[in-house]
Amino acid sequence: PLRITSVAGGFPSSQTFLEVKMLEVAMAIENGADEVDVVLNVGKSLSKAYDEAANEIEVLREEAEDATLKVIIESGALSTCDNIYQASLLAMAAGADFIKTSTGKIDISATPEAAVVMCHAIKAYNQKTGRKVGFKAAGGIRTAEEASLYYTIVEQILGSEWLTPELFRIGASSLANNILSAIEGKEIKYF
């Protein structure tokens, strides 16, 4: 089924007033969004203002109502495994249905290393709470080989039950074009 996804919450930097973020999420829902992507406030996360960062996501979770909420942790900006792990746990505890590697708007987007850390955080969170949170690798994934690597990471850490569109996604329009081109045997620029 076709689903409508919208970015909101001061995308891509998340650097605006909470009230503006709330309004953007509410307007996305009002206009038919089934899924909403927001960015965890990287500045608050890096400065260890975890309560403030979590509060923003909790408020946006409420505004998103029953829609799928994907929280982008911007792993490339967080730099360290510990920062990525903490941001992942924070986003999940605050109500994320998915955690996502990147907006694709900064130099370092999805990396296999960040994916491993995020999947371990998802596994730990699931073991502690029983709630399954999805993983989305996004930004810079261009080849079938790269996509296969992320698929393998998810399968090895989280298991085959995560290999469904409800729990695992890859955000890469150039990848889709490359796969379509390989299938058709000619260059396809659908996305």
Catalytic residues, which ones? 37, 100, 136
Instruction: Give the C-alpha separation, 95 to 56, whole Å.
Output: 11
Instruction: Name every residue whose Cβ is closer than 8 Å to that of residue 18 and which is 6 or more positions away in sequence.
Output: 56, 59
Contact 134, 97 (CB under 8 A): yes
Helix, coil or strand: residue 51: helix
Tokens of 74: 């911007």
Backbone phi and psi for residue 7, each to the nearest 5 degrees, phi listed first: -85, 150
Q: What is the spatial distance between Cα 78 and Cα 55, in angstroms, rounded to a whole number?
A: 19
